[in-house]
Amino acid sequence: MILKIVQLGTPVLREKARPLSVEEIRSPGVQQLIEWMRETMRDAPGVGLAAPQVGLPLQLAVIEDRAELLETISPARLAELSRKPAPFQVLVNPRIEPAGEQVEFHEGCLSFPGYTALVPRAFAVRVECLNHRGEPVTFRAEGWHARIVQHEVDHLLGAIYIDRMRARTLTTVENWNRYGNARGAAPSGRGSE
């Protein structure tokens, strides 16, 4: 089932999501929600989706940067972004710790479609969360994968990339594709979502 992605201005996007218990994570309802969020993310298409984006104030996000999304991006641009395929992941009750310098790249969001802006984020993060079975998981994400994680965790805290963006860089995706190269940079593909 493809879920409706709520748009900027919907109150749930500005609320701090509540944590899930292990029992809730393992429940048939949350397991079904995870699958529907995966389908919705892929259909969009995007590389991450947080539960608040489908109207639910839960600390749950799904992430996946599929190889087919990278096919139209040049190898040089992929290297610049430190972007490579990331497997499907479920992050429940995530906590992140920045680990590395800040880098700036353009991001977009499924809840604010058609726009992009430069957003500073840590190049790497250490992540502690529960997985889809409610088991503790710790991992390090780098490059674009780290950007996706940070973007989705922001959603769980009631923040959107526009809260962190370089304000004067906000533009439509159409104009970014039209004029981005004139500023000495190339579009980054589908953005962070």
Domain boundaries, the chain: 11-183
DSSP per-residue string spanning 32-101: HHHHHHHHHHHHTT-SEEEGGGGT--BSEEEEEE-HHHHTTS-HHHHHHHT---EEEEEEEEEEEEE-S-
Tens digit of each residue's pLDDT (9 = 90 or more) over 110-134? 999 999 999 999 999 999 999 999 9
Tens digit of each residue's pLDDT (9 = 90 or more) over 7-17? 999 999 999 99
Cα–Cα nearest to 170, from 112, 100, 103: 112
Class of residue 70 by CB neighbours under 10 A (exposed 0-12, middle 13-18, buried 19+) = buried
Query: Tokens in use for 106?
Result: 């353009």
pLDDT the model gives residue 182: 47
Domain 11-183: homologous superfamily in CATH: Peptide deformylase (3.90.45.10)
Q: What is the pLDDT along the chain (193 residues), one digit of tens a residue?
A: 999 999 999 999 999 999 999 999 999 999 999 999 999 999 999 999 999 999 999 999 999 999 999 999 999 999 999 999 999 999 999 999 999 899 999 999 999 999 999 999 999 999 999 999 999 999 999 999 999 999 999 999 999 999 999 999 999 999 988 887 444 343 443 444 4
Q: Distances from the Cα of 75 to the Cαs of 85, 104, 164, in angstroms?
A: 13, 19, 28
**35 counts as catalytic:** no
Q: Among 15, 80, 107, 152, which one carries the catalytic annotation?
A: 152
pLDDT the model gives residue 9: 97
pLDDT the model gives residue 179: 84
Over its C-alpha atoms, the chain yields an Rg (Å, rounded) of 16
Query: Tokens in use for 141?
Result: 């994400």
